[in-house]
Amino acid sequence: MQPLIVVIAESSWGHVERVTFELLADARRLALVLRGYVEIALLASPANGDAALHELHAFVDERVHLLEHPLLEDYSTSVYLQALQALFSGLRPFLVMLGATANGRDLGPRLAARLGVGYLPHCLLIKGGAGRRLEISRVSHGGRVHVQSSWSTETPLIVTMRPGVADVASRRELPGDLIVERHEVELRPGRVSVIERLPADPRTQDIREAECVVSGGRGVGGAEGFAMLRELADVLNAAIGASRVAVDLGWVEHARQVGQTGKTVAPRLYVAAGISGASHHLMGMRGSDKIVAVNVHRQAPIFAVSHFGVVGDLHQVLPRLTERLRRDKIQAAARKIDSAQA
């Protein structure tokens, strides 16, 4: 019997998060080694299900199990547990993969307890080993300890995978028909209900969850230089990040450190200002969709991974960029008001 790997897609308002495609790439590689197959579980409301399927269509040729219900409009621990328990009672996968996001870290251990299966958090890499076993690399103690685990493929397992570590699945050149199996699920409202959704404050948000990150390194020059980065971050609605050097010098708190000994991020936009691009830093941010680097040294390694690069003094470049972006936002807001009044 071929082993089944199920990827639980993470979506919000019909938008499929990047971590889903990272999980899909990991699951496909593992399925090839184990001679298994991959399927996807997507939980959504009737209003958002088709939009999420449309995003998946360009990347997925695996079967998608769509669980639709009005209560799945927003993430709720108890409601998601009900839906997934109903699905897995019939599928019985040997491996379930979630992203180690805020939702995944909340749902993973509870789902494992509900199903009576094993659970391993914060995994970096899973590969097939000898004797029908999985070899799993993961981190603990806030990323300071790396753990090597071995797990039998005979025992079902749920894992959360650290975002930003794996590459995303490749887009299909000629997308065919998407295989969708729709499931009607009966769900009871949970004890917690969503009254209003508010965007996270990027100034206090965990940088691993941020859509945009502005990071500074030694080239910023000091703690006062980060005030300039914060002005750019405010315009971009971005979180502040930092290199290990900036953290070691006490310019920024350790929670903002990006890299091998800090946090791994994979935002849509990553701005690296005054960061040379040491290997341990690149390991923490090279999965970003778009990387913009500003550095005075033309040969800085950061330019090798950046999509856009500016060779120049960040103290001159960033204020001008901030002012331009601020002006563009004001003009865009004015046009929107004029359009509404017309």
Residues 173, 237: one domain? no
Domain boundary among 184, 218, 241: 184
pLDDT reported for residue 180: 93
Residues 211 and 179 in one domain: no
User: Phi then psi for 270, rounded to 5 degrees?
Assistant: -125, 120
Q: Which domain-ending residue is among 184, 216, 245?
A: 184
Q: Does residue 192 lie within any of the structural domains?
A: no
Q: What is the pLDDT of residues 41-59, one digit of tens each?
A: 999 999 899 999 999 998 8
Residue 193 lies in a domain: no
Map residue 285 onto helix, strand or coil. Answer: helix
At 269-301, the pLDDT tens digits run 999 999 999 999 998 898 888 999 999 999 999
**CATH value at residue 322:** 3.40.50.1220
Q: Are residues 80 and 122 in the same domain?
A: yes
User: Are 216 and 157 within one domain?
Assistant: no
Q: Would 332 be classed as within a structural domain?
A: yes
- Judgement on whether residues 18 and 163 belong to the same structural domain of the protein: yes
Number of Cβ within a 10 Å radius of residue 213 = 29
Tally the domains of the chain: 2
Residue 217 lies in a domain: yes
pLDDT band at 342, cuts 50/70/90?
Answer: low
For residue 269, give both structure tokens. Answer: 């936009």
Q: What is the mean pLDDT of residues 97-113?
A: 94
| Residues 137 and 258 both lie in one domain | no
Structure tokens at 70: 């009005």
Torsion 133-134-138-140 (CA) sign: negative
Domain of 18, CATH number, reads 3.40.50.620
Residue 197, in any domain of the structure? no
Residues 144, 254 within the same domain: no
Asked whether residue 174 falls in the same domain as residue 230, the answer is no
Taking the alpha carbons of 152, 154, 159, 164 in that order, is the dihedral positive or negative?
positive
Whether the per-residue pLDDT at 160 is higher than 90: the answer is yes
Whether residue 159 is found in the same domain as residue 28: yes
Same domain, 180 and 220: no
Structure tokens at 57: 């269509």
Where among 151, 184, 217 does a domain terminate?
Answer: 184
Query: Residue 234's domain spans which residues?
Result: 207-341
pLDDT in tens, 303-315: 999 999 999 999 9
Taking the C-alpha atoms of residue 139 and residue 144, their distance in angstroms, rounded to an integer, is 7
